[in-house]
Amino acid sequence: MAGLNDMNKQEKIKAIEEMIQIVLLRIPKEIEAMHFYIKAAEKSTTDEAKNLFIALAQQEKGHEAELRRILNDLKQQLMELKNG
């Protein structure tokens, strides 16, 4: 599989645009999962379950933050390719 460095400019642009679309699709899924775990924590009847679901919600929040960081990086790369 070719890496971005092995592609011409148009291929790089297309690859980055595809990655951006995938990341954009995943961010709402992470938010949805976070809300699911928060609701599960609220409904939990034991501290152990509540703590587990809170920890899982925090992980999903971290995933969302990482995806947003990746998205910003990809957008920056795309802008540099298109303008450079």
Where do the structural domains in the chain lie, given as residue ranges?
A: 9-83
In this predicted structure, the answer to whether residue 2 has a pLDDT above a threshold of 70 is no
Global confidence as pTM: 0.88
Confidence of residue 48 (pLDDT cuts 50, 70, 90): very high
Give me the percent of the chain exceeding a pLDDT of 70: 98
> Residue 1's Cα: distance from chain center in Å?
23
Mean pLDDT of 27-32: 98
Mean pLDDT, range 75-80, rounded to an integer: 97
What is residue 80's DSSP assignment? Answer: H
What average pLDDT does the segment 56-68 reach? 99
